[in-house]
Structure 1
């Protein structure tokens, strides 16, 4: 496995995103996410997309700042810029992928980016979507989570049904419960200690840690 890969997409980004970067990370900028890296004095390892969200002068800054620059036709492509970046990232077989700027004002893009977690799941690559107030991951097995800076934890079924959900260390525990698409039972739980444990038997579960 190679190093971590951080993908910067064109949604909401800020200083918090820069704080996620660790030495040795591979940085991929998707469309406007590449400009965010460049304008903050960082050199993307890869910048890619159709770049329809940047001005000409911004595109030139991206081109000059990037180690590798890949431009795609905005019409003759089958994937969003973020999925293009994800396809590039998974080919590296990294130890982990983080998606930043994957949530924004375009709900369709935000939802599509959420489903990219499944692309990583299929390849057994840990992947997290992170923004200023949320941490989102997809699990299929027992998982321990830290409370960290987050005030709430919500659980949503990614598959139609998730069975055998047991929660330990939460204000509202569950024992071998089932969540089905449309259920809101798993919304807004709270970790009561420093760590908590989630166990499931079948299905895929979205775990969303949020700051209120």
Structure 2
């Protein structure tokens, strides 16, 4: 199956709910990472590939995942260097898809949540559009001027992922910035609002997290 031009949806083991089902389209390539594979199967989907150490499922659930996935890849939970989500993300990047969305990337483990956000930088470096989506947020990383659509989100926050981001100019936002610099540790870019249905973020250098949120 060719992945070119297709979206890859990675469902991993963070916080999931019915909201996640709305992000899945019929022609998406579905990757179940650890317990995320079980979520897909329990909701009537057959993962194109299930991968991970599967240390968060029972033996019976593991057998269900193995039997219900097109491809099954497991690994030793002790002798591995990557999280299950990063393993799945690396596989997805290698397929050169049109876009990668990670569902279940945010959860109760802040270390895993933050590490998953950092994966977006790896996608950006390889020129592949990537996002993290949960019930209330959509997260991307940009390093060049980007158009933003409001959609269902009420707020938009800008946080530097590099030590600083320079030359930030906002168009179509309630609180404008012109040739601004954001440094790690500043909250200047939190909780802005799009004044219209679409806005533009311009920047000169650095990596900028763009987080669209709704309460």
2:146 corresponding residue in structure 1: 143
Query: Which blocks of at least 5 consecutive residues in structure 2 are unaligned?
Result: none
Structure 1 residue 115 corresponds to structure 2 residue 118: yes
Q: CA RMSD in A?
A: 0.7
Tell me how far 1:198 sits from its aligned partner.
Answer: 0.4
- The aligned counterpart of 1:13 is 16
2:157 alignment partner in structure 1: 154
TM-score, scaled to structure 1:
0.99
- 8 Å CA contact 1:156–1:187 kept in 2: the answer is yes
Tell me the CA shift for residue 161 of structure 1.
Answer: 0.6
Give unmatched runs, 5+ long, in structure 1. none
* 1:195 CA drift (Å): 0.6
Residue correspondences, number = 212
Deviations 1:17-48 (A, max 9, x none): 11111121100000000000011110000000
**Alignment TM-score, normalising by the size of structure 2:** 0.97
Distance (Å, rounded) in 1 between the aligned partners of 2:5 and 2:166: 34
> 2:6 corresponds to which residue?
3
- 1:163 pairs with 2:163: no
Question: Are the aligned partners of 1:2 and 1:92 in contact in 2 as well (CA < 8 Å)?
Answer: no
8 Å Cα contact 1:100/1:131 also seen in 2? yes
Equivalent in the alignment of 1:204: 207
Higher deviation after alignment, 104-113 or 55-64: 55-64
> Take 1:178 and 1:119, find their aligned partners in 2: how far apart are those partners?
23
